[in-house]
Amino acid sequence: MVDTPPPGEGPTRPVSVSLHEGTIAALKARTGKRGMSAFIEGLIQRQLERDRLRELIEDSESVNGPADPAAVEAKRAILRGETAASSDAA
């Protein structure tokens, strides 16, 4: 059995994907021709992380019920760098 490396690990290899011309133009404008692969690799890794996080949240909610909206907002404020005083003033 061959072990598959996790996202972002292992050797790189070329693959073929189809993108709309407008998407390619915007990508080249943002990254330059030589930065496209790294940019796309990063996008895919972030999306995989988000998908896995969503799965973890759904698993947790199936066991523990939905998260308290006020607690979620408090954690979001921390991630935004807001302190309790700055979020109370808003």
In a domain, residue 13? The reply is no
In a domain, residue 3? The reply is no
| Tens-digit pLDDT string for the chain (90 aa) | 678 999 989 999 999 999 999 999 999 999 998 899 999 999 999 999 999 999 999 999 999 999 999 999 999 999 999 876 554 554
The pLDDT of residue 2 is 74
**Residue 73 belongs to what domain range?**
21-89
Statement: the pTM of the whole predicted model exceeds 0.95: no
Count how many domains the chain has.
1
DSSP string, 3-60: PPPPTT-S----------HHHHHHHHHHH-GGGHHHHHHHHHHHHHHHHHHHHHHHHH
In a domain, residue 42? The reply is yes
